[in-house]
């Protein structure tokens, strides 16, 4: 190539490069979008007949949501027994089904009670939680819902809900002791969480996490990258108990690693809240949340009717 052709070709390449750079600069940056999930609980509120996890995976695929939140008590695994070869085979089948149907697992919702003065009882709850973390690891579930548990001074869960989640401490004990028990127990579970690559998500789910202040007290005291907040849009109950408590939700949003979004078509199982999901979307956008938002339908309407309606509400608000 002579000097004249070299300069001509170089100039042409430079012009094309500058044009491409200019186009790239003009294209607006794409913000990562929030992804939708579906909680298996949406189809089974602990009333017989139990709806299988496999069925909800099929429905999630049909509705085009990205992921499923597994309710541990809804799975074909005895909640308080050690994992067996049969249980592991069941988990592998779930993992295979989800992959082939184009959905992931975004969370597994578990139950434990750390709010207990009995050291042996809390130790058993820690071991139970570690087993649940192992299940998440086997399934490839990146986050796991945990609770503080309740004082159990209510007659039953219906009684607790009748009192809007408020209950007194056990006789002879107080919340200060309870916070220490919960913090110590969660810290004991964190090495297993890190080993399995599972983020623990503490939900605003009664007990000491019934308020934003109580929830954040625990999370901030532990201050671990393997512990975050699960924001449930329907679990902050403040008089007159008719709408979501947006102020409390905004307080926990910066720590949120996962969100469960409640709807109540047909009236709620225990109560009904009016939730403005456009406002929820703004709260999440203000803290740059780009994780999963999973529908947790808790109404009495047929879920085959209510779930699609609920997903459209979430899609519209989060878009």
DSSP state of 72: G
Whether the CB-CB separation of 136 and 99 falls below 8 Å is answered with: no
Q: Which helix (H) or strand (E) holds 232?
A: strand 227-232
pLDDT at residue 92 in the model: 98
Query: How far apart (Å, rounded) are the C-alpha atoms in residues 133 and 188?
Result: 12
Q: Which two tokens stand for residue 88?
A: 């592991």
Q: Which two tokens stand for residue 318?
A: 């989060």
Q: Is the peptide bond before 159 cis (omega within 30 degrees of 0)?
A: no
Query: How far apart (Å, rounded) are the C-alpha atoms in residues 237 and 256?
Result: 19
Q: Are strands 143-146 and 199-203 parallel, antiparallel or unpaired?
A: parallel
- Give per-residue pLDDT as tens, 30-42: 666 899 999 999 9
Structural domains of the chain ordered from first start? 35-318 (3.20.20.150)
Whether the CB-CB separation of 98 and 55 falls below 8 Å is answered with: no
Say what the pTM is: 0.89
3-state secondary structure of 56: helix
Q: What share of the chain is helix, strand, coil (3-state, %, to 5)?
A: 50, 15, 35
Phi, psi of 272 (to 5 degrees): -130, 130
DSSP state of 202: E
> What is the per-residue DSSP string for 242-309?
SB--HHHHHHHGGGEEEEEEEE-TT-BSS---B--HHHHHHHHHHTT--SEEEEEE-BSS-HHHHHHH
Query: How far apart (Å, rounded) are the C-alpha atoms in residues 147 and 157?
Result: 15
pLDDT at residue 238 in the model: 87
pLDDT at residue 26 in the model: 64
Q: Which helix (H) or strand (E) holds 145?
A: strand 143-146
pLDDT at residue 7 in the model: 45
| pLDDT < 50 stretches in the chain | 1, 6-7, 11, 14-24
Categorise residue 239: left if φ over 0, alpha if ψ from -120 to 50, beta otherwise: beta
């Amino acid at each position: 190539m002579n000097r004249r052709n070299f300069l001509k070709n170089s100039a042409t390449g430079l012009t094309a490069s500058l044009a491409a750079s200019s186009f790239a600069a003009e294209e607006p940056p794409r913000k990562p979008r929030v992804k939708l999930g579906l909680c298996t609980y949406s189809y089974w509120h602990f009333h017989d007949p139990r709806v299988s996890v496999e069925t909800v995976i099929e429905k999630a695929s049909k509705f085009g949501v990205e992921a499923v939140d597994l309710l541990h008590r809804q799975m074909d695994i005895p909640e308080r027994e050690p994992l067996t070869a049969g249980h592991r085979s069941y988990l592998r089948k779930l993992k295979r089904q989800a992959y082939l149907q184009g959905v992931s697992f975004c969370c597994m919702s578990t139950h434990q009670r750390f709010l207990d003065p009995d050291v042996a009882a809390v130790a058993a709850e820690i071991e139970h939680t570690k087993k649940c973390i192992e299940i998440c690891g086997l399934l490839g579930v990146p986050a796991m819902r945990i609770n503080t548990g309740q004082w159990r001074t209510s007659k039953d869960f219906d009684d607790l809900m009748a009192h809007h989640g408020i209950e007194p401490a056990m006789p002879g004990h107080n919340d200060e002791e309870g916070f220490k028990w919960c913090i110590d127990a969660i810290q004991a579970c964190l090495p297993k969480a890190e080993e399995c690559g599972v983020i623990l998500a503490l939900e605003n789910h009664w007990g000491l996490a019934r308020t934003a202040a109580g929830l954040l007290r625990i999370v901030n005291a532990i201050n671990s990258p393997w512990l975050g907040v699960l924001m449930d849009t329907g679990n902050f109950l403040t008089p007159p108990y008719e709408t979501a408590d947006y102020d409390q939700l905004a307080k926990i949003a910066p720590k949120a690693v996962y969100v469960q979004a409640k709807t109540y078509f047909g009236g709620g199982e225990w109560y009904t809240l009016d939730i403005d999901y456009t406002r929820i979307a703004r709260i999440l956008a203000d803290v740059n949340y780009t994780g999963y938002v999973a529908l947790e339908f808790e109404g009495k309407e047929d879920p085959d009717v209510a779930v699609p309606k609920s997903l459209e509400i979430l899609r519209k608000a989060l878009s």
